[in-house]
Chains A and B, each alone.
Chain A
C-alpha cells in the first residue's frame, strides 16, 4: 500500500521507506493481542468490515431521498420522524439511532458538519469520507460555509440562506436535496442515481439529469 492517509490537520509529514507504516504495525500488534487474549473474535472483525464496505453506504440514503421525491406522504413522514421513516426502508442502527431530515429549498440550503469529531449518519450514508473528518472542513464549515461550498463547486444564489448543522449530540442529520428539474415521471431507481453522497451532507446538489457525471454514477 503506497497510499499514506492524510493527517487530520492536512499537513503531510515524512514516513520511512518500505515496510509497514507505523499505524499498520500498531493495528497488527493490537489485533493479534486482542485475539490472543480472547477479547475479539476475528470473525466479528470480518463481519463488521464487510458490512461497511458492502452493505451500509450512501446508496441507502439515496433510496430514502428518492422515495421522498415521489411520495409526498413519505416525505412528510421523513421530515417529521426520520428515524421511523428510514427504518421502514430497512435502514437504522448504529450512528443512526436518532435521525433528523433537513429539506433543502430554493430559499434555504442545509449543510451538515461535526466540528468536534466525525458524527455522521452511518446507516444511510456509510462511513464518512476523509474530507468530512478533516480539519479544513470541520474548522471552516461553520464560519465560511459559502466558501466551503464553492470548493465543492456549489455556487448558490446569494439570496439562498445557508443553515449549518453542527452534530454535537447523538442526533444525526440527513439533507434532502432538491429534486432536479426535468425528472417528471422518473422511477425511484432512476432518481436515486441522481442523489450523491455529498448532496445528502449538503456539500453538493443532486445531479442534473443532463450531467456528464451521471454516466459514471449510474
Chain B
C-alpha cells in the first residue's frame, strides 16, 4: 500500500540526528513493547508480513507522529484484536475479566532463546525457472496494490539491471494476506541515480533494491 512507511525520496524531514552512546532502549516500555511483539509473534497467529502490514496501515499522520516502538505497540494491538486474542474492551481495561484459556501455549524462556538463534528462513524451493538472469535489464512494474507490498514507490516504472539472483523466497504480498507463501524468485536490481531521480540525483551513486519476480518486467537492453 502507498502508506507513510514508504519513505524513500521524500523530503522535509530534516537532518539525520545520531545519538552518541545510544542505549538499546530509551525507556522500560520500549523493552516491553519489543519483547511482547516477539513473544506474541511466537503464538503463530500471524507472520512477519502481516505484522509489517499492521504497522504500515496506521493512518499516515499517526505513523509519522509515533515513535518507533509506539508503532510496534499499535501494530501488535491491531494484530491481537484482529485475531480475536484480545478484545478492545480488554485492551482499554488492561484486564481480562472472564480470563479465557489460552488457545496456544506461551513461548517459554528457553524456547524463546532457541527461536532467536534459529531464526525463520524465508527461502523456499524454486517454483519454476527464473525469468531474469544476472546482467539483464528489468523494469519495476507500475504497481499500486492496496495490500502489503515491498516494492518501494521510488522504483516503480524505473529501469534497472539484475545484479544478483537470490533464489526463491516467500512472497510478502501474498503472505501478508494469509493466502499462502507463494514463493517467487528474488532478485537484487540496481537502478542508476539518474533513472530514479533525473538530474536531481547524485550521479556518483546508485540504489539496489531486492525485488520479487512479479514486481519486474523485461526491459529493452
Contact = CB atoms under 8 A, between A and B. Distances in A.
B91 A163 contact: no
A162 B193 CA distance: 10
Which residue, A11, A56, A57, A164, has most C-beta atoms of chain B within 10 A?
A: A164
A129 B66 contact: no
Contact count band on A: 35 or more
Contact of B210 (A56, A140, A169): A169
B70 interface: yes
Interface residues of B, number: 107
A61 interface: no
A36 interface: yes
Contacts, number: 315
A137 interface: yes
B64 to A, nearest CB: 4
Contact of A151 (B16, B80, B102): B16
A214 interface: no
B68 A133 contact: yes
A6 B154 CA distance: 26
Contact of A49 (B34, B119, B202, B205): B34
B128 interface: no
A161 to B, nearest CB: 5
A145 B208 CA distance: 13
16 contacts: A1-B26, A5-B27, A5-B70, A7-B67, A30-B73, A31-B36, A34-B39, A41-B109, A44-B35, A44-B112, A115-B152, A133-B68, A163-B205, A166-B207, A166-B210, A169-B122
